[in-house]
Amino acid sequence: MLIFCRQDLTENERGAILDAARAAGFEPLELGSTRIALHGEGERAGLEALPGVLRIGALPDTPVLVNEPDRRVVRVGPVEIGTGFIVAAGPCAVEDRQRLLDLAHAAKAAGCDILRGGAYKPRTSPYSFRGLGDKGLEYLKAAGEATGLPVVTEVLDPRDVAVAAEHADMLQIGTRNMMNYSLLVEVGRADRPVLLKRGMAATLAEFVFAAEYILLEGAPGVVLCERGIRSPEPSMRNTLDLAAVPALRHQTNLSVIVDPSHATGRRELVPPMTRAAAAAGADGVMIEIHDAPDQALCDGKQAVHPDRLAALVENLRKIAALAAEAEESQ
Amino acid sequence: MLIFCRQDLTENERGAILDAARAAGFEPLELGSTRIALHGEGERAGLEALPGVLRIGALPDTPVLVNEPDRRVVRVGPVEIGTGFIVAAGPCAVEDRQRLLDLAHAAKAAGCDILRGGAYKPRTSPYSFRGLGDKGLEYLKAAGEATGLPVVTEVLDPRDVAVAAEHADMLQIGTRNMMNYSLLVEVGRADRPVLLKRGMAATLAEFVFAAEYILLEGAPGVVLCERGIRSPEPSMRNTLDLAAVPALRHQTNLSVIVDPSHATGRRELVPPMTRAAAAAGADGVMIEIHDAPDQALCDGKQAVHPDRLAALVENLRKIAALAAEAEESQ
Amino acid sequence: MLIFCRQDLTENERGAILDAARAAGFEPLELGSTRIALHGEGERAGLEALPGVLRIGALPDTPVLVNEPDRRVVRVGPVEIGTGFIVAAGPCAVEDRQRLLDLAHAAKAAGCDILRGGAYKPRTSPYSFRGLGDKGLEYLKAAGEATGLPVVTEVLDPRDVAVAAEHADMLQIGTRNMMNYSLLVEVGRADRPVLLKRGMAATLAEFVFAAEYILLEGAPGVVLCERGIRSPEPSMRNTLDLAAVPALRHQTNLSVIVDPSHATGRRELVPPMTRAAAAAGADGVMIEIHDAPDQALCDGKQAVHPDRLAALVENLRKIAALAAEAEESQ
Amino acid sequence: MLIFCRQDLTENERGAILDAARAAGFEPLELGSTRIALHGEGERAGLEALPGVLRIGALPDTPVLVNEPDRRVVRVGPVEIGTGFIVAAGPCAVEDRQRLLDLAHAAKAAGCDILRGGAYKPRTSPYSFRGLGDKGLEYLKAAGEATGLPVVTEVLDPRDVAVAAEHADMLQIGTRNMMNYSLLVEVGRADRPVLLKRGMAATLAEFVFAAEYILLEGAPGVVLCERGIRSPEPSMRNTLDLAAVPALRHQTNLSVIVDPSHATGRRELVPPMTRAAAAAGADGVMIEIHDAPDQALCDGKQAVHPDRLAALVENLRKIAALAAEAEESQ
């Protein structure tokens, strides 16, 4: 069963509900500040009348919040995701204050909307560079302020969420952590919109449930990011599942952006795949850029040079407009 | 080793070369009319001087013909594939003479370039409808003649290639037969361009080698068709691998078209995925249409209604133009 | 609908039923000699009374013959598959008469039951060795006669089935052809038991339907062979799906053997995987052997040396006995 | 570069090394207590002479600790993993003190070695039961003490590692968290052996690097657990990759156990797959048991009834002995 509580529930009331649920034989589980799931076989009588309880319903089998009728427009600083085509760009990893600043200015000048960059980097080998950590967050914040671009950055550890939320406008959950439910809960509580990347072998149903985890905790918005799934094809890093874009937009109220850099791992495939994303109806793309890709500490082979960005962004907006036009006329 | 023979090799010369190769300890294998592969450990001396032999080289480890520098434009009746964006449309299976004719006229009126339709249908269950066979080929030919659209149809059996080649302008190898090398050899000899679909678990390297099989036998052209690969995602029939489009166009001289109907199996995903294909740089798309999809004997759920085709085709050509423009400026 | 005909149906009766079905508006499809599927929307009245018709039923949605209650024991020359644990061994490709004879004697001496060897080889590259063809069939037949081992060999082309059936005791359908339905129909008519390998991306449901295709045509037996499926894991050729063994044995009346050589592609993994197959309840294994694996024309890296075979076979029979014992007591 | 420090490094010395590395232009990263990785382009001169530094080497490209020559036997309470075949059994989730105690006694009586049970449960839907948490840990500890069985339980959050380590003899990293590197580092520091499950789409190379993460932090042991990978096959939960067992045992010094319950999700496939694991050379299996599987709060369909456990365990040990014998004689 699922208890729906009043928005202005007091801590006393919450405690009383939890105690009563346990006394009635249930295992209660708080889902954000206004819902309490009851598991196990208990006795429902009496719970409905407790102060602060609005009503008691069944536990849903399918996601609820992501299926509400109104599309969820997400605000990231001055940018809206869900009302036009946005471009996020930046280096894979933050490596150096000046280089980041230069890339941020290049992204801004090319017409990009959001600055991306990794301070905490999840790496397959423990011997690899794992990012600059808190220092990277500071560089990102400074680059965002210098350019006016809002900043998105990945968090890996629930204990880093608070500090990341102080420095970034949007928090990213990476592909390796899409099923890290402790982390999803924690970012859901950080009062920041969340960019949720698809797990590298996650089904769309699992992906959407992960977004529900975050929204239940009160996050002001979730944006999905398709970034490719594992397949037997060896010539690319992953297989970009672009059909997921219209499928997710049909079945949820969420915006969907696409990351062709991690999906393909090959620089020459990034521009055509950003175009394909725009045509498929995506709400935006995220592109890795680097001014000296061969020196990059992380994923240089997939980075696009900032010189090519302005023409690409302009072309993408035209394709996105044609796709939007066609969709509306259907 | 690989013997390259003269174009005008006589049958006598060919026989003499094969005999000499066997006598020298090799297992000779004819690759089309002008190449003979030699396997095993034989004695090369003497072979080079035989009448009809141009030269002897090493057996290649990688495909050769698909990597020659000039792009291969393929002519299918009056249509060129490789110089603009083409749309092939038609029903999954040919079911009925009149319905096929109506759909062909609808496709023509909507601006499509090629008529597709299945006379021989590969079906998972032996109890399913396997197509009208030769009668279906006749209907297709008649519909092509009535509309001026060239016709592409799938062959499943080497013994059917000749009759299919009499009735169709282009022969299709389906996903289940991409590694049916006997069939590849046979269609390669039929003097018809071939539409080769990617195997449902084939790597790009295997796909390209399959095209090489066909070209080696002398086919006047091969066009690749990306149609999705198997993945764990259960909500779609396959995962459309659109990044394969620019990847294949980079690494071969072949044109690549996309079949979003079989890739997704869901009608509502077909229009956005055709747009994405156009934006990714595909040379065209192949779309299943049906005027009463719920009555279709085969794959009705993925068929688009012909009423929606004209607007879609127009939109696709605009997107393809934007993508081509961007590619050229790079 | 599905017409069940008498076993002793005459050609006249058959023709009359087909004509009547067409006249009634159906597309008839012969499934072996005693069943005729009717597709399309025709008029059933009158068909039931035709001479030779036993009854008319619904077209099944699921396989029928492979689900009949009695387990199908398959006889391959003097060997029974389905009543004990069998071992088939031999080289990947037949390369040379003497080497094949030596390997066959080694297999016999080690206690193997069946000789395997490829005369027609499906190869990814058209430039690779495609087998000795008919000469290979003769060598196989001779090796089988010399050792008393029955012979299994792969066919790739419907036009080769007759000659292969003259030389071999069992015909094999390889992984690339599991969905080559023309070939399945043809081997089903050859009066030889068939070893059907799982397609490299086939689901178990598709695999079982492929066996149904063969049995419908009258084959005296089908044995399934699990040989690995494609996965993203790069360190092995395929992922051996051993859980398919008990799953297929639960859901069908067919025997299942396992080919760990092609599944793993790594010689050192073959013995443990044959043991695992025996313990999983498989009816046997198929092992590639070669006395000089580094010189093999095909797949040498996965071949086991015949010297190690006798101890392996003995160990496998003990494990199979323990597994059978445990299964019976459940 | 990689600095190797003395075992008895003082905190002062550590701080001095980190400061010097930063001053020299590096980003230092502590790997456990005795290794410091240096990333970026700094100046090495002078670092080697610092107090506490043993030597400076190159950063490895491949795992090091898991490849050292001696096999790592892991002690879990009174049990050794790596010297015989072990069986871990228990319920998926800890639901109730008494039921857990009963199952633990049943496991002990059946000859099992380790008690498994989940206190923290990762669930796809946020509305599902997520386990009893700390209360579950207490029940597990009590059941372990009552039976003498050591206890293994999963941790999901770095903040729960300390309390889990107080209650359990071995900490488990589940498939969803194999790439949760913050969690790997934290369990690596908890002075408990770790059971590391393979990520559901992880390659063996990634799996082995995850073990290296844990060992670098000083964990007294890591045991790998193969539990199936995602594949397109819909009839089972995952595809159990048993060939990974001998492959991992060849390429690392780690023990490997197998979890056929989560791999298949089907109770009837669990006993044959445990047998297959034993025959493949696994160091043990982990089995989910439940006395009333249809009432289980989590994964009831894959649980084996404890009544069948004793005969299974006995059979497994016989098969494991036959496999060990065969391996030694090779």
Compute the Cα dihedral for A53, A55, A56, A60 and give only its sign: negative
Tracing tokens 């279906």 back to the chain, one arrives at B136
pLDDT digits over C78-130, tens only?
999 999 999 999 999 998 899 999 999 999 999 999 999 999 999 999 999 99
A102-111, A300-309, B170-179, D186-195: range with lowest mean pLDDT: A300-309
Cβ distance D234 to B234 less than 8 Å, yes or no, reads: yes
Q: Find the residue in A nearest to D123 (Cα).
A: A181
Collect contacts of D38-43 with beta carbons under 8 A, ≥24 apart. D38/D1, D38/D2, D38/D3, D39/A128, D39/A129, D39/A297, D40/A95, D40/A129, D40/A297
- C233, C315, C326 ranked by CB distance to D203: nearest: C233
Tracing tokens 């919040």 back to the chain, one arrives at A65
Model confidence band, residue D319 (pLDDT cutoffs 50, 70, 90): very high
Model confidence band, residue B110 (pLDDT cutoffs 50, 70, 90): very high
Query: Looking at residues D304-322, what average pLDDT do you find?
Result: 96
Q: What is the structure's pLDDT at B292?
A: 84
Q: Which helix (H) or strand (E) holds D59?
A: none
Task: Collect all residues of chain D within an 8 Å Cβ-Cβ radius of residue A230.
Answer: 201, 230
pLDDT digits over C183-231, tens only?
999 999 999 999 999 999 999 999 999 999 999 999 999 999 999 999 9
Q: How many angstroms separate the CA of residue D62 from the nearest CA in chain C?
A: 15
- D39, D129, D201 ranked by CB distance to A27: nearest: D129
Task: Collect all residues of chain B within an 8 Å Cβ-Cβ radius of residue D199.
Answer: none
Give strand pairing partners of A118: A93
Model confidence band, residue B153 (pLDDT cutoffs 50, 70, 90): very high
Structure tokens at A80: 């809206």
Cβ distance B234 to D231 less than 8 Å, yes or no, reads: no
Q: What is the structure's pLDDT at D209?
A: 98
Q: Find the residue in B nearest to D233 (Cα).
A: B232
DSSP code string of A235-248: SSSSB-BTTHHHHH
Query: Looking at residues B300-305, what average pLDDT do you find?
Result: 86
Cβ distance C326 to D312 less than 8 Å, yes or no, reads: yes
Q: Find the residue in C nearest to B122 (Cα).
A: C181
pLDDT digits over D12-34, tens only?
999 999 999 999 999 999 999 99
Task: Collect all residues of chain B within an 8 Å Cβ-Cβ radius of residue C180.
Answer: 156, 176-177, 180, 183
Q: Which chains touch C (3 or more CB pairs under 8 A)?
A: A, B, D
D-contacting residues in A 239-278 (Cβ below 8 Å) = none
Q: How many angstroms separate the CA of residue D237 from the nearest CA in chain B?
A: 10
Cβ distance A212 to D61 less than 8 Å, yes or no, reads: no
Structure tokens at B37: 């592969």
pLDDT digits over B119-132, tens only?
999 999 999 999 99
Task: Collect all residues of chain C within an 8 Å Cβ-Cβ radius of residue B200.
Answer: 201
Q: What is the structure's pLDDT at D216?
A: 98
Model confidence band, residue D284 (pLDDT cutoffs 50, 70, 90): very high
Q: Find the residue in B nearest to A235 (Cα).
A: B204
Cβ distance A247 to B239 less than 8 Å, yes or no, reads: no
Q: Which chains touch D (3 or more CB pairs under 8 A)?
A: A, B, C
Q: Single out the residue of B269, B323, B140 nearest to residue A330, CA to CA.
A: B269
pLDDT > 90: percent of chain B: 93
Cβ distance C27 to B129 less than 8 Å, yes or no, reads: yes
What's chain B's average pLDDT? 96
Cβ atoms of residues A313 and A111 within 8 Å: yes
Model confidence band, residue C135 (pLDDT cutoffs 50, 70, 90): very high
Q: What is the structure's pLDDT at B302?
A: 85
Q: What is the structure's pLDDT at D330?
A: 67
ipTM above 0.90, yes or no: yes
Q: How many angstroms separate the CA of residue D243 from the nearest CA in chain A?
A: 17
| Count of positions (residues) in chain B | 330
Q: Cα-flanking dihedrals φ and ψ of residue B80, to 5°?
A: -110, 130
Q: What is the structure's pLDDT at C330?
A: 67
pLDDT digits over D197-227, tens only?
999 999 999 999 999 999 999 999 999 999 9
Whether chain A has a CB inside 8 Å of the CB on C230: the answer is: yes
Cβ distance A236 to B247 less than 8 Å, yes or no, reads: yes
Cβ atoms of residues A248 and A208 within 8 Å: yes
Whether chain B has a CB inside 8 Å of the CB on A201: the answer is: yes
DSSP code string of B160-208: GHHHHHHH-SEEEE-GGGTT-HHHHHHHHTSSS-EEEEPPTT--HHHHH
Say how far residue C283 (Cα) sits from the centre of its chain: 13
Compute the Cα dihedral for D105, D109, D110, D111 and give only its sign: positive
Distance CA B184, CA B190 (A): 10
Q: What is the structure's pLDDT at A197?
A: 98
pLDDT > 70: percent of chain C: 99
Q: What is the structure's pLDDT at A252?
A: 98
Task: Collect all residues of chain D within an 8 Å Cβ-Cβ radius of residue C266.
Answer: 247
Q: What is the structure's pLDDT at D230?
A: 96
Whether chain A has a CB inside 8 Å of the CB on C6: the answer is: no
User: Helices A204-216 and A244-251 meet at what angle, rounded to 10?
Assistant: 50
CB–CB contacts below 8 A, C to D: 150
Task: Collect all residues of chain C within an 8 Å Cβ-Cβ radius of residue A230.
Answer: 232
Whether chain A has a CB inside 8 Å of the CB on B323: the answer is: yes
Write out chain A's pLDDT in tens, 330 residues: 999 999 999 999 999 999 999 999 999 999 999 999 999 989 988 999 999 999 999 999 999 999 999 999 999 999 999 999 999 999 999 988 999 999 999 999 999 999 999 999 999 999 999 999 999 999 999 999 999 999 999 999 999 999 999 999 999 999 999 999 999 999 999 999 999 999 999 999 999 999 999 999 999 999 999 999 999 999 999 999 999 999 999 999 999 999 999 999 999 999 999 999 999 999 999 999 998 877 776 777 888 999 999 999 999 999 999 999 998 886
Cβ atoms of residues A244 and A205 within 8 Å: no
Q: What is the structure's pLDDT at A301?
A: 84
Query: Looking at residues B33-52, what average pLDDT do you find?
Result: 94
Q: Which chains touch B (3 or more CB pairs under 8 A)?
A: A, C, D
Q: How many angstroms separate the CA of residue B307 from the nearest CA in chain A?
A: 11
Task: Collect all residues of chain D within an 8 Å Cβ-Cβ radius of residue B234.
Answer: 234
Model confidence band, residue D301 (pLDDT cutoffs 50, 70, 90): confident
- C203, C243, C247 ranked by CB distance to D232: nearest: C203
Mutate which: B124, B132, B237, vs C, most C CBs within 10 A: B124
Q: What is the structure's pLDDT at A125?
A: 97
Task: Collect all residues of chain C within an 8 Å Cβ-Cβ radius of residue D319.
Answer: 279, 319, 322-323
CB–CB contacts below 8 A, B to C: 106
Cβ distance D243 to C234 less than 8 Å, yes or no, reads: no
Model confidence band, residue D248 (pLDDT cutoffs 50, 70, 90): very high
Cβ distance C201 to B205 less than 8 Å, yes or no, reads: no
Model confidence band, residue D295 (pLDDT cutoffs 50, 70, 90): confident
pLDDT digits over B2-39, tens only?
999 999 999 999 999 999 999 999 999 999 999 999 99
Please determine, for residue B111, whether its predicted confidence score (pLDDT) is greater than 80. Answer: yes
- A29, A129, A132 ranked by CB distance to D130: nearest: A29
Whether chain D has a CB inside 8 Å of the CB on B124: the answer is: no
Q: How many angstroms separate the CA of residue B234 from the nearest CA in chain D?
A: 8
Q: How many angstroms separate the CA of residue C246 from the nearest CA in chain D?
A: 6
Q: What is the structure's pLDDT at A330?
A: 67
